[in-house]
Amino acid sequence: MPMQKLFLKIAPYLVLLIVFFIASSLLVWDIKISKSNTFIATFLMKEKGHSVLQTFESNIIASRVDSREKFNELLLSYTEQENVEFMAVADENGKILISSIEELIGKILPLKSPKALAADEKIYINPDIPFTSSQLHQAKYFIVQKHIFRSFAAENGMHQDMRHGMHKMKRRNTMICNKLERLGLMQSVSSSPGSLFLIIGFDIKEVMEAKILDDKKSLINLIAFTVLILLSILSFILLKKYQKFYQIIEESKVYFDGLMTTIPLGILTIDQNNVIVTANPVAENMLATKNLIGKNICDYIPSIAFMDFNRPVINSPVKLINSQNDSLELNSFSIILDNKRKGIGIILRDLKEIQKLQEELNRKDRLASIGQLAAGIAHEIRNPLSSIKGFARIFEENADEGSEEKTLAQIMNQEILRVDKVISDLLEISKPNSLSLRPVSLKKLVEQAQNSLILQAKENNIRFVNDIWIDEITLDHDRILQVLHNIFINAIEAMKSNTANTDAADGENAERGGTIYVKAWQEQDCALLSIQDTGQGIPQNMLSQLFTPYYTTKAKGTGLGLVIVQKIIEAHKGTIKVESKEHEGTTFTLSFPFHK
């Protein structure tokens, strides 16, 4: 995937680079070949002209040309060849002395000669003289020249073969010049006697056809170049759009996958045969099976086989096979699978958490009602109770020591104190959640609660083991001290029975009361405080009722202690959890957020 993303990122620019390289190469190639046909046609025509002129020279030497009429006839005979328009002889100034076309006599030709004059008409193309495209379009004749010299440069220093060749050329040119001199042509050359040019003129049509072919090629290449550039720009735009759409799809896929993973709903799709096509991780957890795809959903939720999915199913309770969890709710909707098959979308919702929240809300409502009722009753009871308490003390003080009246008065005082504690607990429940928060040393707070119960702990052979890794936390000192005191008392009383049972079973182990482990540590933004005892534990069927008002497992308990503990913890925006195993012990875990 990273390589695919990198390729998609650089692909538009890579395409532009490749197209630029191809276009540049095409442009260079076009420049090189744009004149190839013209060049070849010019070269072939020039070679043809030289060949014809060479033959013409040979005919002058070999034939009996002794008059201008015969010379003209010889010229005309050569014009009968394909594409040959005229034959002529010109002096070194380019002036035509004799020609197969009489109208050209006296005209000036563009010859490659130091003494050549400017042509009076731009209708001639001489390949020995550079010409432009516009001149080619204006020209009528394509001429090839051959310079005839009577005299040559000095032969000193030349190689023997070169001297021999020059000698033969000198003799050939001398013979031609003598012939032309007898025809009266040499007398027309004023400045350099014996210096003439043989000229052959071709129809420019062949060169023009080659030029037109080159122009067509150039036009085709230009169109191809333009189309290539346009296609590259279009490809760049399309690739950029594809890149954008791909990014949107990837982001949507990541969002969808994250949503399917984190949403607290089991989402599945099934086909018409109830075979699972897709399933999110939550659905796999609900059905307690990995890799659900390809399996029949009726193997997990049998009631689906009897459901009518022709219309949406809404909030239908279902139960998993071989499971006690009956808190699942099913909703369905129709979907299209693979753009062809019809399927059913199923949403499973676990109502367990909702039921817990509802139970918690009901508990708090009941607690608030009980608190309001208890507050009124407590005030009504506490006033006469104070009077009864006073009379009980008078009875106890006036009774003789060791008498039955003394004993009954003491029992009365104890029961009055117990009723007073119940009234205090009821008033505690009815109090509003007002806290006095301040930084507190958690270690000292725990030790303070333990020291208040040290005598009870020693009497029952119970010891405290602390492992506290939090120095300071913001709490209500007195309220949390009350929480710790209640939990420690419950732990000591749970291990009292442990000591009593051990004592009854084996007197040798009677001193082993138990241990209360206190541990505090930090997890993210929360402080966790764990209090674990080694008592008899609490049965699982009773754990859910521990924080219910007036529910208690102790003979003299009021059932309000843990209710008050939970109320104080929740006032700190914390949580309390309890875990217990019979005959192993109970662990209370308190969680407090760090106040900033």
Give dist(CA 420, CA 426) in Å, integer: 10
Contact between 148 and 177 under an 8 Å Cβ cutoff? The reply is: yes
Domain ranges (residues) in the chain: 2-32+215-257, 36-203, 263-350, 355-430, 437-593
φ and ψ of 18, to 5 deg:
-65, -45
Q: Could you check whether 36-203 and 263-350 share the same CATH topology?
A: yes
Provide the percentage of residues in the chain whose pLDDT is more than 90: 11
- Give residue 528's pLDDT band: very low, low, confident or very high (50, 70, 90): very high
Per CATH, is 355-430 categorized as 1.10.287? yes
Task: Report the C-alpha dihedral over residues 355, 361, 366, 371, rounded to 10 degrees.
Answer: 150
CA angle 520, 523, 527 (to 5 degrees): 45
CATH class belonging to 263-350: alpha beta
**Angle formed by the axes of helices 205-262 and 36-62, to 10°?**
160
With cut-offs at 50, 70 and 90, classify the pLDDT of residue 379. Answer: low
Residue 587's pLDDT band, with cuts at 50, 70 and 90, is: very high
* pLDDT band at residue 496 under the 50/70/90 scheme: confident
> What are the tokens at 585?
């012990």
**pLDDT tens across 441-457, in order?**
999 999 999 998 898 88
Average pLDDT over residues 52-76: 78
> In this predicted model, which residue has the larger pLDDT, 23 or 191?
23
With 0.75 as the threshold, say if the pTM is over it: no
Two tokens, residue 331: 């909703």
**CB distance 480 to 435 below 8 Å:** no
Check if CATH label 3.30.1380 holds for domain 36-203: no
Longest CA pairwise span in the chain (Å):
188
Which residue, 163, 189, 167, is CA-closest to 177? Answer: 189
Class of domain 437-593: alpha beta
Which of 3-17, 105-119, 308-322 is the most confident on average? 308-322
> Which residues contact residue 500 at a Cβ distance below 8 angstroms, ignoring those fewer than 6 apart?
none
Q: What is the DSSP letter of 35?
A: T
Alpha-carbon dihedral sign for residues 213, 219, 222, 228:
negative
